[in-house]
Structures are given as C-alpha cells and as structure tokens.
Structure 1
Amino acid sequence: MNLERVQARLQLIDKLLNCKSGEENHVLNDNWELVEPELLQTMAWVVEFGAGNGRTNKANFLRNLLLQLGEYLGSSQQPQTIRKETVDTLLDIGIRWDETSQFTLALQVWQYTLTIYREIKDCQGEAHSLGCLGNAYYSLGQYKQAIEYWQQYLTIARETKDCQGEANSLNNLGLAYRYLGQYEGAIEYHKQSLTIARKIKYHQGEANSLNNLGIAYVFLGQYERAIEHCQQSLTIAKEIKDRPGESYGLGNLGIAYLSLGWYEGAIEYLQQSLTIAKEIKDRKGEANSVNELGIAYCYLGQYEEAIEYLQQSLAIKRKIKDHQGEATSLGNLGNAYFFLGQCRQAIEYHQQSLAIKREIKNRKGEAISLDSLGNAHRELGQTKEAIEAFQASLTIATPETMPDTCTLAGRNLGNIHFSLGNWELAITGYEPAIEAIELTRNSSLTDDRRKQILKDNLSAYAQIVQCYINLGQYEKALEYAERSRSRFLADLFHNKYLYSKGDIPPQVQEYLDLQQQIDSLRFNSPSNGMMGESSSTSTSTEAKLEKIRQLGATKQQIWENIRRENKELAARLQPTPLSFQQMQQLIPDRKTALINFYSAEEDTFIFILRHPDAVGEIPLTSLGTGEIPPTPLCKGGLETLGKGSLETWERSVACYTCEGEGIKNLQNWVKQTWLYSYTKIKFPKWFVITQLLNCKLEDIKTIETNDTAVLVILKDGSQETLNITPQEFLKQTSQKRDQLQKEWQNQMQPTLAELSQRLQLQELIDNHLQDIEELIIVPHLHLHQIPFAALPISPKVAENPETTAPVLQTAGKTRDYRNFDIDTSDTIPTTPINIDNNEYLSDRFRIRVVPSCQILDFCHQREPIETKTVGIVENATGDLHFTPEECRKLAQLYKVPPERHLKEKQATIANYLKLAQQVNILHSSHHASSDLSNALESGLRLSDGTLDLANLYIQSFPQLSEVFLSCCETNFTVSEITDDVLTLAGGFLTAGARSVVSTLWSVQDNSTAEFCQLYYQFRNQGETSPEALRKAQFELRKIPRFNHPYYWAAFVSQGER
C-alpha cells in the first residue's frame, strides 16, 4: 500500500468536507490525479469510521459524492481497465454497506454495478451483482424480488459452468422460499445445492446446505430430520476446521432442540456455539448465540434470564453496528417482556425495533413488529392502538409478498374486531388472511402440508362465515363456507378438467404432465393403472416423497414462470372458488333447493339456496311469524333480511342456525353415536381381547394369530397369550361382530330421530321447503355419513328409548369385504320408532348428496352423454347368492352382451378398467369396503385383487355417465376437520362419471338385489337417478322384512341427475 497516496486521498477528502458549497468541482480539478477507483474505497471508509458521531450531513454529502464519482469513473468515457476497477470497487463497497444494514444504499450501488458489468460483458461480475441484489432484497424482506435476481444469478452460473455459484444461488433461493412459507420448495432448492456441493467437493457449501435443510425441516415440524441434517453439517465443519461454521451448526442444533421441546439440550448446544464464537472473536456469531439463548430461556418460562441474554445480544449488535441484528434483539426483548406480562415494556422495545426496521427499510421486519405491537396493546386493553398496529402490519404484509405475516396480522385484526362485534371490520382482516392461506396452500408441494395449512387456519373461515351471517350477507357466508371444504378433491377434479380441454399451451401441458407424474406417485400406482404390478415397481415411501417434492418444485417453478407472463392463465391452473352466482347455476329448476350445512365450533348453519327464478315467490308468512325478523342474527331459527315489500321474500338464499349444535355438540355426538358405533363392527377381535384381558382398546398395539395361539402385544411392550384356542377366539370374534352389528342397527332409528330434532328438520321444511321437490344436500364433516333419506321429518322419541327402541336382526349376507354371515332368515324387525305418519325426508323429496358445490360444478361442466351402453361386473368372488339374479335381470333389461358382462373370474382389475372405458353406464355388484386408517386403500374386491381408491384417482373415464356401486361402504369414510370426503364413489366422480349411486354402510345381499332391480325399473321408465332411487326405496319399504332403514337408506345419489 502506498501510504503517501492514501494520505493524499485523505487530505483531498478533508478539503471536500470543509470547502464552501459549490467549490467541490474546483477542489477535485486541482487534485484530478487522485480521482481514481481507490479514492472511492477511501471515501467509503471515511463515511463509516470518520464522518459519524454527529456528522451525519457530512457523511451523506460524502456518500453522494462517492456515488457520483463512481458513475463518472465507470462511464463509457473511461478505459475498460478503469471501468472494471471502478465497478469491482463499488461492488465491495456495496457489500460493506449491506453488512452494516445500509440496504438501500447497497441496492443503489449494485444496480449500477450490474449495468456496468453487462456493458463490459463481464459475466462473473454480472452474476455477483445479481447475487448481491438478491441478498439486499432478502435482507429487506422483499423475497419475491430476491428470487428474481437469484434466478438470474442461477442462469448465468449454469451457462458459465460455475458450479459453486450454482450451489450458492440454489441455497439462497431455498432461503427465500422458506421465508415465503413454501418449506417444501425451500427443501428442494437446498437439496439441489447439496448435490452440487458434494459433487464438486465444496465442503463449506455442503455444510451450509445441510444447515439450511435442518432449519427448513424445523419449520415443517420434522424435528428428527432437522437434527440429523444439522449434525451432518456440524461434522463437516469440524472436519474442515471451519470454526464459524461449527458455531453456526451448533446454534442450529440448539434451534432444532428448542422446537422439539428439549430445552436443556438446546441450551447446551447454544452454549457451545457461544464458546466458539467468543474464541474466534466472531462478534456477530456471539450476538446470535446469546440471542438464541434468550429465546431458549423464554421457552422455559425463565424470562429474567432470557432478558439478560437478549440484552447482551443487543449490546453486541449495537457495538458492531449490525442494525438488522439490533432490531431483531429489540423485538425479541419485546416478546420476552410480553410473555412476562409486562406489556408496556414490550411496547417500548417493539417500538425501538420498529424504528430501526423502518430506517433500514426492512418491510418484513416492520410488519412483524407492528403485529407484535398490536398483540401487546390488545393485552393492555388498548383496543384502538392494537387495531391501528394490526392494520398497519396488514398494509405492508400482502398475501402475495408476505403470506405468513399477512395470515397472522389479518387473523389478529379480524379477531379483535370480531370480539367487539364489528363484523364488517373483522372481515377486512379475515379476507386477506384467507387469501394468504390459500396462496400458501396452493404453493405447497405435498398433500400433508396442504392439509395441515388448511387445518391450522380453519377458524379464520369459520369466523368470516359468522361475520357475513351476522351481517345478513348469506351469499358471501356460503362462498367462504365452500372455500374451506373438500379442497383435496377439488384439486383432483380441476386437474382432470384441465386435461379434458383442447389447445393446451406448451407450458401448461408441461405443468399438467408433471401433475400426472405426481398423482401416479402419490397414489402409489404405476401409470398404466395395473395394480398387480405395484408391489414390484414401487420404491420406498421416502424415495417416492422425495420424487414428489422434486416434481412439485419443478411444477411450481413452471407456474411462477406462467404467472409472470400471464396471470390470468396461471390463475386457471388452480381451482377457483365458486361464486354465489355459480352455485345458483347448479340448481336446475324452481322446484329444487340446495341445502348446504356448515358447522362452526358452537353452531351449525344451514344455507338454503334456491333457483334465481324462484326469488320473490315465497310468502313471508311461511316464516311462521308473518313478518321480517328484527335482527339478522336469530339463533335457533331462520335468518333472513327481507328487502322491499313485506308480501314477498326477495332473497334466493337464507340461513338457518341450529344454536348450540356445532362441532362441540352436534358433530362430536354424531361421531360417537353413529360413526363410532358402526366402526366398532370392523374391529370385533379388539373388543373380545378387552374382555378377555380386562384392558382398554388403547392399550393394545397388535394381535398375532397362528395355528396354536393368539398373541396380544400391548403398547407398554408386554405380551399376553390368550388362554383360548385360535378356533375359539375366531368363534368369539364372530359372535362379537354379530352383537356389534345388531347394536348399531337397533340404535339407528333413535339416533336419526334425535338428529332430525337437533337439525330442526320440521321447522326447516315448514319455513322454506314447502314448494320444493328435490334437495341437493351438501353435508359437513360427519354429516356426510348420515342417510338423509331416512331422517324422520317429525319424530317423537320415546321417553325411555332403551326399552322401546326396535330390536333388529339382519337377514342374510352382506356385500362386505369382511364377508361375514348373520343368519336370521326368518326374523323381522320390531315396530320402528314412533314417527308421525311414518314420513321420512325421502317421502317428501328427491335427494342428491354431494361433497361440495365445487365438486358438483365439475360434474355439471362435463358434457352430457346421450347413449346408454351398459356394462355389468357381477359377483367377482363368486360367493354372493342374490347378485347373479340381480345382474341377470339388468342384462336382460338393457340387452347387455356377454363381452360387457364380467362374471366372477372374468372380473379382473384389468378387465374392469377396460370395461369402464367402454361403457356409459356401469353396474358394479360384488364385495367392497372402506379402509378407515388409509382411505386411499378402500377398494372394490375383484377376482384377482383390489381396485383401490388410489388407482381410481388416476383413471379417466370420460364417457362414463352413471355408476351404480352395488357394494358395501362405497360412500363411507371418516371425514377429517378439513372436510375432505375420500370415498370410492368420489373416485368414480373424479375419474369422469357424471353421477354415482353408492352405499353408506355394509349392505345386505338379498335386499340390495331387490333394490337394484327396482331402481333400474324406474330408470328404464325415464326417471332421473335421484327419483328412481327415491321410488326404489319407497317400494322396498313395502316389503315387511325390508322396511327398516338399514335395508334401503344406505343408497345415495351423487353428482348430476
């Protein structure tokens, strides 16, 4: 270094700082030999270390002059060598400004270096500038912009075969996607980076990728995998003697242990990280370690210790002028005081953090601080200030740019207004939150993650539905109720719908092809649908998940590329929630109503949607009061807001509230009394064991049976051998199954009668359905399993149902996968429960049941099929006695030739799928069953194996108009809180069928054969599917031994008429 030259430059800078305004050019001209790239570096040093401490104006002046001189020295007037030296110097200056949180200045200088590098065709410099710009936008919390620059950096790195740069850019992209809440996408980028780093033996890059993978897995809740990756990173750091990397790896291990709740282990790792940082004098690493220790002690509830560590972190960050870190430490101190209950101190720290974030223009951090301030003000009862803070946070955190923060701030704003009864203002919070939730869900790569996102945020949907109901805006309430349900099925239907369209742009075709590959993997079936090959072709579950993530990441990237070029086209690649007007279009005529159930935590809402032409025809006297209700929220009754004349009702939707009958009461009651009672039939041997061993169901882990003994393995690790033979155990199991079956059947009518009363069915009909002939029912949660056809309209439950409930014994064999027999051929049910006029809902209405309006809409959009080519699959396992006669009469009625009539061994999986491709009407009469542990393994039992739901989801039957599943449990499942109804009937609808008739439980062979013959008799007479179903049920009830709902109410019609 030429010290004299350095001294001369410092003297020049001093003259510039002390000359009169306007004399700067004279000073520079007098010292022109010093105007060189090195002068810029010296000026930057003076700005940082010599012009501070109250000399802000001079620092700003010198900084601006630096930028002007940089532009001059880098201009096209200068020699190539000077331009290159100048731009390299500016790049380094920008890095230093970035390190000191002067992100805006760094952006300004890097934008200039990018331009110059491109002009002088310096690809390496261009790539570095792009990478730095990405870093600056990342630090500012502007992740979309960061991704754009890092993607450009990645492109150049690949073109120039800069493998290390490629690995670094991929790693950076992973970080940005992580902060956008797209954790699977982040993992995919980190994995790509890891692969390259290992290939080129770039050990530090390998360690960085492993560390970042560990943190991404923490966010996904996969803590063991997080620890595994952090441990691998730590091992590499030790091997290459990378002490800062070792400290960083220990810190990340501490974070992973914190997330697992292993606080003592976390603190131990963080202390080790801190020790190394101090040894190597890594002040920033030291500050980060004590910051994380503070967080750990917060988790432990030891807030005073936490505050002590956080104060240490703050002091270091301030000393090293790490403004970003300073703001983070202040925010964490605010959180610690909040948890300590000292909200005033919390507000003070959050305000300091906010001020710094605003100064350095960290928009993401600003939004988070405002949300934290809102929480603290709310705890103090400072409602006005809390609302202002949440609103300010939401102004910054939009659904697209900061979906995670938008979700938090939006829900917080919505909740505080909801608690105050400000329904319209609550909506201003919930609406952007829900948009952010849906964007995050759509960008997630795995089904489990998408489901979890929806599950974590369902209360936002419930709250906004309640808000719109309270405002009397039932159209909007119904729209949001629909948006929260059956999203998994909607995704599947949408992909099939897109494939059915012609003239698909190449990028969209690539997108859809990737989705098809994903579906083939996720549903565990080869692409040709031949289930018999799946065991030999399947890979491990982890390998499949890994492949799904890779394909999903590629698909997501294609979507983002399409979105940049054509937002409208990109929007069509995701299923768009239906509008109220679109739902109305699903109602075919004025005599049909759509009944949509939605259960919130406390209440169940029943939306009644009518055809637009029916508006204005319903006298208000039908409400039972003769006048418009005075308030839009009438618990326990009909809610309407009339407009105009008192003589007519001018709304095409109403909402009926069943007060106190929400998830807590109604849905849980249905689950216990209906579903649990039925599902017990599937596990009789478990109940036998509880009696023999005097234990609880939850104590049993597995049951193993061989020729000589029955071994029970308990969850505590112990084993018990039953003191009865396997043959006796089998006998007792059969008896227990019969007992459980009878118990469920005998409680059916009392349960349905009580459900009718809970749903106020009589009042609902009297008030709103007097002129209606057909109902399209959209159940919610466990109501999907209820036979609405058998709901008594006006039941009178006996005071002591235990003594008056019917005692039913089933006649004949069920079409159940379990294939058990209950021989009661000469028994008849006793008198059913007392029902006025013995009138059921199906006596009054034709009924269709659909998972959601959106699923019905997909069915509705399919072209109608006029031809009636019929195919029959009969008795695939050869053990059903009444099925042959049922199918013989059907074949005779529709003149079905032998090649379209598969009998017993002919009914293989391959032949079944081939037949479904050839016919318009498919009658499937054989065994089937649902799998409650894994719905995708529910299946049709054919002669050479099981055609399961997973396989159906990847099939396409575009010419299939109608399917009758004359089998057991083809519409039975246990709905999750996300309301995804995964059934065999839904599988056929997804594959292309317009309508499906299916069953809600294990149906009996003899009665089912009779029912099918009646159904097709009415269909052949020109009746629609729901009308033929209703008439067949009515006629079957006339046969004394089949008049109990068990025999006729299991059948439901889904989809189109």
Structure 2
Amino acid sequence: MNEQRLQAYYQLIQQLLSCADGEESAILQANSELLDADFLQMVVGLAGMFSQKGEENTANWLLALASQLSEYLNIPLEENTPEAETPVSEADIETYLLFLLEVLQATVESQGNSQVVYPLLEDNTDKLNLTFANLLQAWATTIIAETEPETAQSLAMIIGNFSNLIQQFPLGNKANNMEIAITGYEIAFTVFTRQTSPELWGTLQNNLGIAYRNRIRGDKAQNLENAIAAYTAALEVTTRDDFPVDWAMTQNNLGNAYFDRIRGDKAQNLENAIDYGAARSAIAAFTAALEVYTRDDFPQNNAETLLNLGIAYQDSQKLDLAYDTFTQAIVTVENIRGEIISGEESKRKQAEEWNQLYRRMVEVCLDLGRETEAISYIERSKTRNLVEQILSRDLENIFPSGVVTQLQELESQIATEQNLIQTGKAENYQNLVQTLQELRQQRQQLQDQYLPLGASFNFTSLNNIVDQQTAIIEWYIATNKFFAFVIQPGGKEIKVWQSSAEKFDQLIDWANKYINDYNKNQETWNNQLDDNLQNLAQILHLEEILNLVPSECKKLILIPHRFLHLFPLHALPVKNSYLMDLFPQGVGYVPSLQILQQIQQRQRDNFQSFFAMQTPTEDLYEKDLGAVTAIKKQFANSHVLKKSEAKKSTIIQNPEHLTTAHNLFFFCHGSFDSNSPLDSGLLLADEVLKLADIITHLQLENCRLVTLAACESGMIDGYNISDEYIGLPSGFLLAGSTNVVSSLSTVNSTATALLMIRFYEELKHQNNILLALQTAQIWLRDTTIQDLRTWLTEPKESSLTFAWQSEINKYFDRLEQENGANYQPFRSPVHWSAFCCIGKGV
C-alpha cells in the first residue's frame, strides 16, 4: 500500500470525524473507492490510538463505523481488530477477579449508583475486555450453581444492575462494554425466567435488546434480529395495562430496531402491521408508544417518538402523514424550549438536538410543494437565540410603550410560573402548566401584532422589508442535498433550486479542503483561492440560481447556512465576472430573514460621530498607513484611542464614546476561536475584547456601522448544526449596530488600509454602506499602480499625510519595477474579497 493511499485514508477519516451529524453516508459514498480492508484496519487502529489518549467517545465512534463498514463490505471485523481477548497469566486472573468482586460490591452497596461505580470503572478501563466478560460468566455460573436460590437471585440482580451500568458507561472500549453487558444479562436469565419473575424478565429483555442494537461486534443484521426478538419478548409481559411507561419505552425501542433492520423487506419493516398485540413494524411500534408518551405527561419522549414516526412515514413516502407528525413534534419541541430557563447555551444545545426534526420537515414541505412553509421552518430552526436577544433588547424601539409594559408584565409572570415548576414548588402542576401555556399565547399574540418572530414567523411578512429592486438567496443544507431559496423582489414569491446528492458530496469535500488548507497551509490557501471560488460557484450551480433572479434586480442579499457563512460568496466568479459585479446596488449578508426583519426596525439616521481603536499593538504601529487619521476627517465629531491608549478596560469602564458613536472603527488584530467562539475577539493594548465582552458590556444605541479592519473578524461557528450565528458580527448586531463590516479570513494590512480609506470616501458621497464597500472593493481590485499613485496625490478630505504617502510610494516602486505601471497589485481575491457587510446595508 503506497503512502498516497494511506494519506487518502487518513484524510477521509478526518473528514468523517469533523463532519456534521447525518453527512457520513454521503461522504463515504463519495469516497467508495477507498473503502476496503486496509481502510478498515486504519479505522480500527486509529480507534485504538484515541482510546489510549483517553478520547473514548471518538474511539467508540470509530469502532461503530468499522462495524457498519465490515457488514457493508462483507469483511469480518475480527480480522481487522487487535487480539479479541487480552492474554493474561494466572496471577492476572486473580487481579481480574478481585476487580470483579470490587465492582459488584460497589454496585450492590450503592444500589447501582453510577456516581459510585463509574469512577471505579474509569480507573480500571484496561480490565474491561473480553477476559473480564469470560471471567464474569465462568465465575457467576459456578457461584449460582453452588448457592441457595435466594442467594443466586441476589447475585443475578446485582449482575443485571451492573450490566445496565456498563452498557451506558461512556469510557473504555465500547465494543467490550457491550459484550460484558450482554454476558451479564445472559447470566441473569439463568435465574430469572418468564414464569418465575415475569416483570423483571421483561425488563431484562428490553435491556438486552438495547445492548444488541448497540452491539459493535458480530454480524450487524443478526444483532438487530436479536434486538427485535428481545423487545418482542419483553412486550409479552410488559403490557400497556400493567406497565404503561415501560411498555411505551419498549415499543419505541422496537420501532427503532425495525427502522434500522437490514433483513426483510424495507417497506414492510416500516409499514403498519400488528401481530399478537406486538408491533411488527417501525410505524406500528412508534404509534403504539405514543398512546402513553403524550405531550403533557412525557414531552421529551413524545417529541422523540413523533420524530421517529415521522421519519418512518417520510421514508415510506407517506408525506402527508410525515408532515402532520412532524408538525406535532415541533409543537412539543417549541413547548420544551419555552420551559428552558437555564440560559442561552441550553437553548442552543436544544436547537442542535432537534435540528434533524426541522431539517426533515423542510424536506417534506418541499416534496409537498409547500415552499413558503419550508422557508418558515428553516427560519424557525436557526439563529433563534440571537433573534430572541435582539427582540428583548429592542422592545422599546419596536412596540408602543403600553405594549412594552404588557409584554414585560407577561414575561415576569411567565418567569415566575416557570420557576415554580422548575423548583418543584407548584401546588397544582397541571393547572400551572395550563396557565403557563395561556400566558405564552397571550405574549405571542401581542408580539405578533407588530413583529411575528420565532414560532410565529411567516414568510408573507417579508413584503414589508424587501423592496422591488432587492432579491434574497437563502441556502439550506439538508440531509443529502442542499437548496437555494430565491426570494423575488418585493418578497412575495419564492423560487427553489435543489442540488443532486453528488453535488452535496462535492460541497462537503470542497468545504473540508478549503477549511483545512486555511487552517494548516495558508500559502496554499492564498494561491488557490481564485480557483477554489471558481469551483465553489460550479458546485453551487450559481448561474442556474441567478437565472431565477429577475434581470432588473439591483441588490442581492445572501443568507448562508452553516459553514457557507465562512466563505466570500459575493466574490464567486460567475458570467465572466464576479457575483457582486452583477448587482450595482451591492451584495450584502444577513444571518437570517428574521434578523433582517428586526434590524430594519432600528433607525440610525445620523452619521456624524466617529470612535476608533487604532493600532493598539506595537507590530501595527506603522501598518495602518494613517488610515484612521484620514478617515476621521470626514466626521464632525471624532474620538480615537491610539496605540497604548486603545485598551479594553477604557471602553468597558468609560463607555460614553461608544454609546454616542454613529460609527465604531477597529484597526487591530482579530481572531476567531472555532473551539470556543465566545472567546473570539479583537486584540487591544491591554487584552482581548472578546465576543462575550461585547454581548455583556457594549450598548451601541446610536451606532449605524461597526467596521472591523481586523483578521477573521467576520468568521462564525460554521460547524454548529443549529446554525446559531455566533461570532463578532452577531455580538455587535446584538449590541445595537445595524451594520457590521468585517473580514472572513486573514487580511493584508496595506490592502486593508487602502480599502478602508476608499470605503469611507465612497460612504461620504453615497451614504450607502453596502454600495460604498462594494465600490471600494472593485476599485482596489481593478486599479493599476499608476492609478493608485494618481489617487494618492489627488486633493481630498481623506488624503494621507506626506509621510504615509512616501511610505506607500516605496511599496509601489518595488512592485512597479517588478511588474510595470499597469500592474494591478490587488487583483487577487485574497486582497479584497475578505470584507463583507452584514446587516441592513444602508
């Protein structure tokens, strides 16, 4: 096997580890030529490496992948795994036995408390292997055979409880944990039978079914058959009348097993059929479970089961039933979201958890020809936290004072009722839940009279915010394809374009390579940017999408989805030009339609006050070419903190200049932290002004524009599957600005300085942020050295000082000697494409 193929294996595994949930299948299909026994061996080998480093979740995920691929490729997994059983000496056997007894003792004394047992397991993960499973079986079989029935029952109960714990233990080797759990259940079945202990026997059968469904070793198809048999057996004694909750749980488990089933007819596995009172299909099982898992009594289980049932209907092409089922699930999920009082992070995690539900609903709506509903559900599933935070901040600007008072009173009542429920102090739970629902409905109805948002967002409201010369393209990345929704001028009509599965795979591959090159090989990324953007335009079928935009349209608003937020889409080559050249009034960005709708409510008519943080670190002292000095001349009032004075502590402790500024300008270093987006920030003289600081401390009550002349200042968390827009632009929008100009990559300081000077010149004359930025970018891109020299010597309000003109001329002298006076030094997209305008645009 050559080194190139090994590298290809490794890159494919890295791609699988970094992709969003649900994209694995498409990636594997796109790289089918790499799927062979050697690839399996590398997957298992890397799993072992991750396990040794303590990254058990990743190791277990890789082992599960290897198991699935071994079934698909018909290559026995055991041939590609390390030794099935760890060889041990007689002395080691004694060590294993002592550990086994210690674990069982901890299990019985703690009554199966994971907080007691798991630390013991964590300290001995090296012993959680097939040797341990075999020892457990041999030891328990001997003890049970030699002891009194009562003692045997106690021991079997302890082992059954331990099996439940080891099955859910998050560390160690997942495959070994499942084998130990199955061994334990089989031991318990030698003591507890259906005749002697029917209730316990049914519980054990359900747990055994879970273990077989999650089993990694063995034949996947047979494991699922074993799971179905166990669940079916459990239902023979776990009846709805006697054990309704356990019955519903087992029905749901059985439905999942039938949904995943490999053997038998796929359609029949999904179809509705009942045999001897037990569900014999996914649809039947999920439907049965919902008889107990009601919205009022078990909201989380209700939503999960409805999602499963809806997917089964969707896969069976029963689209109307899928639509109705997903609708019910979304109602439950929205109710659950309303109950969350533990902060924005909890709401974001909930949005990630239920992303698949909204994604499936969008797909079903489109299959049914319900385009406006599809886009409404897209909007309801993204940027929800930011939408709600902006609404809370801007209440007084959006609603009449009397309505604001009413909304605040309702919010206070809702918070009080929620707190009673959360703390368990509700005297009459059902009445309180009903009251809470009524209060939420009152709040929503009152809000909707002025600005429908969240669960009430309606596409028809767009005609108030999209003029007759503006079109919108909103992308959406679904399960195995992506869509472009083209909202026509006036906002009254949608046209939809969708990709093939092949293009979806190409988009995932392209994005992973682009991001990998950017993070690890900046020179390669720079050199290939033009070609990469050309490839992206072809993958997106941009020309086809633009054919859906009327020719008279002058302005375009782009709403990316997930990782598409990270790319300069306005700079995509199309029709022998660039996208932004086709729209004379500019190409801008917004995080979502709802955010656009909200910031349109903000009135920022004045633009006379300027506040800047200029070159706060020593390495930038001579790099802005006097841009800030030149720009501030255009404003009637200006305040600049320069060099060592440009401190975070200054603006946090004395924010008066911020609150009165119409334009906030940063010329500094910036960075985006993909692992912790709230730690992304702008490097000032004393410390980093983080996104968390911006959200917490800044109040930009009069700000029309924040300009971030800094690297990576426009990047966001593109791998967040909820598409919650988290980055510096969101912080400044939340703080009060209506526009943020920022960069999507690292930027050259000279090109940035020239671009900013020209941008503000254009803004002075055109009073249109989006158009001014686009005009400045085209100018920087197309201008020759000779033209740049002429521009520098022209008398104008923002002229550079003589010292800075001399400095920049030295730079041009060198370029002219190498390339000639007609050379366009900033022609490459690397120099001009990074900056974009996010927000209102004017």
Question: TM > 0.5 between the two?
Answer: yes
Tell me the equivalent position of 1:736: none
Distance 2:506 2:160 in 1: 45
- Give 1:773 shift: 1.6
1:590 aligns with 2:468: yes
- Give 1:883 shift: 2.8
Select which of 943, 949, 952 maps to 2:694: 952
1:857-1006 correspondence to structure 2 within 5 Å = 857-866=597-606, 868-877=608-617, 879-881=620-622, 883=624, 885-897=626-638, 900-913=639-652, 914=655, 915-955=657-697, 956-978=699-721, 979-1006=723-750
CA contact (8 A) 2:510 2:536 kept: no
1:841 aligns with 2:597: no
Tell me the equivalent position of 2:241: 359
- Give 1:848 shift: 1.5
Gaps of 5+ in 2: 1-56, 61-101, 168-176, 214-222, 274-280, 448-452, 784-823
Q: TM-score, normalised by structure 1?
A: 0.53
Distance 1:511 1:666 in 2: 44
Tell me the equivalent position of 1:120: none
Q: Structure 1 residues 243 and 893, CA, compared in 2 at 3 Å: closer, same or farther?
A: closer
- Give 1:759 shift: 0.9
Q: What letter is aligned with 2:556?
A: L
1:212-611 correspondence to structure 2 within 5 Å = 246=109, 248-249=111-112, 262=128, 288-289=157-158, 291-292=160-161, 295=164, 299-300=178-179, 306-307=185-186, 309-310=188-189, 312-313=191-192, 318=197, 325=200, 328-329=203-204, 331-332=206-207, 339=223, 341-342=225-226, 345-346=229-230, 348-355=232-239, 358-360=240-242, 362-375=243-256, 379=261, 381-382=268-269, 383-385=271-273, 386=281, 387-437=283-333, 439-440=335-336, 443=340, 445=342, 450-490=347-387, 492-497=389-394, 502-503=404-405, 505=408, 508=411, 565-570=435-440, 576-577=454-455, 579-581=457-459, 584-585=462-463, 587-611=465-489
Q: What letter is aligned with 2:488?
A: R
Q: What letter is aligned with 1:653?
A: I
Q: What letter is aligned with 1:600?
A: A
Q: What letter is aligned with 1:665?
A: Q
Q: TM-score, normalised by structure 2?
A: 0.65
Tell me the equivalent position of 1:676: 516
- Give 1:366 shift: 3.5
Q: Structure 1 residues 343 and 904, CA, compared in 2 at 3 Å: closer, same or farther?
A: closer
Structure 1 window deviating more from structure 2 (845-854 vs 588-597): it is 845-854
- Give 1:580 shift: 3.3
- Give 1:267 shift: 10
Count of paired positions = 634
Larger RCO, structures 1/2 (Cα 8 Å, 6+ apart): 2
Q: Structure 1 residues 1023 and 344, CA, compared in 2 at 3 Å: closer, same or farther?
A: closer
Q: CA RMSD in A?
A: 4.5
1:769-784 correspondence to structure 2 within 5 Å = 769-784=550-565
Tell me the equivalent position of 1:204: none
Secondary structure of residue in 2 paired with 1:1001: coil
Q: Structure 1 residues 328 and 863, CA, compared in 2 at 3 Å: closer, same or farther?
A: farther
- Give 1:390 shift: 1.7
CA contact (8 A) 1:600 1:662 kept: no
Secondary structure of residue in 1 paired with 2:301: helix
- Give 1:661 shift: 5.4
- Give 1:444 shift: 7.5
Distance 2:741 2:416 in 1: 31
CA contact (8 A) 1:291 1:310 kept: no
Distance 2:781 2:228 in 1: 71
Q: Structure 1 residues 583 and 1047, CA, compared in 2 at 3 Å: closer, same or farther?
A: farther
Distance 1:1014 1:351 in 2: 74
Distance 2:134 2:836 in 1: 58
Q: What letter is aligned with 1:328?
A: T
- Give 1:1022 shift: 3.8
Distance 1:946 1:997 in 2: 19
Distance 1:354 1:609 in 2: 53
Secondary structure of residue in 2 paired with 1:954: helix
Secondary structure of residue in 1 paired with 2:486: strand
Q: What letter is aligned with 2:284?
A: E
Q: What letter is aligned with 1:870?
A: F
Secondary structure of residue in 1 paired with 2:510: helix
- Give 1:456 shift: 4.6
Q: Structure 1 residues 984 and 335, CA, compared in 2 at 3 Å: closer, same or farther?
A: closer
Identity %: 23
CA contact (8 A) 2:420 2:426 kept: no
Secondary structure of residue in 2 paired with 1:595: strand
Secondary structure of residue in 1 paired with 2:485: strand
Tell me the equivalent position of 1:759: 540
CA contact (8 A) 1:287 1:316 kept: no
Distance 1:313 1:660 in 2: 50
Larger CA Rg, structure 1 vs 2 = 1
CA contact (8 A) 1:351 1:373 kept: no
CA contact (8 A) 1:597 1:606 kept: yes
Distance 2:539 2:368 in 1: 25
CA contact (8 A) 1:350 1:373 kept: no
Distance 1:963 1:562 in 2: 45
Q: What letter is aligned with 2:203?
A: T
Deviations 1:449-482 (A, max 9, x none): 6555544543333322221111121122222333
Tell me the equivalent position of 1:1053: 837
1:580-659 correspondence to structure 2 within 5 Å = 580-581=458-459, 584-585=462-463, 587-611=465-489, 613=490, 615=492, 652-659=493-500
Deviations 1:668-689 (A, max 9, x none): 31231x22222225xxxxxxxx
Distance 2:512 2:605 in 1: 39
Tell me the equivalent position of 1:1008: 752
CA contact (8 A) 1:310 1:332 kept: no
Q: Structure 1 residues 937 and 335, CA, compared in 2 at 3 Å: closer, same or farther?
A: closer
Deviations 1:966-1019 (A, max 9, x none): 222110245114233422222111211111111112222222222222222232
Deviations 1:49-80 (A, max 9, x none): xxxxxxxxxxxxxxxxxxxxxxxxxxxxxxxx
Gaps of 5+ in 1: 1-219, 224-237, 516-549, 616-651, 682-739, 795-835
Deviations 1:800-852 (A, max 9, x none): xxxxxxxxxxxxxxxxxxxxxxxxxxxxxxxxxxxx2x444344352121222
Select which of 754, 765, 772 maps to 1:1028: 772
1:1041 aligns with 2:811: no
Q: What letter is aligned with 1:349?
A: A
Distance 1:562 1:288 in 2: 40
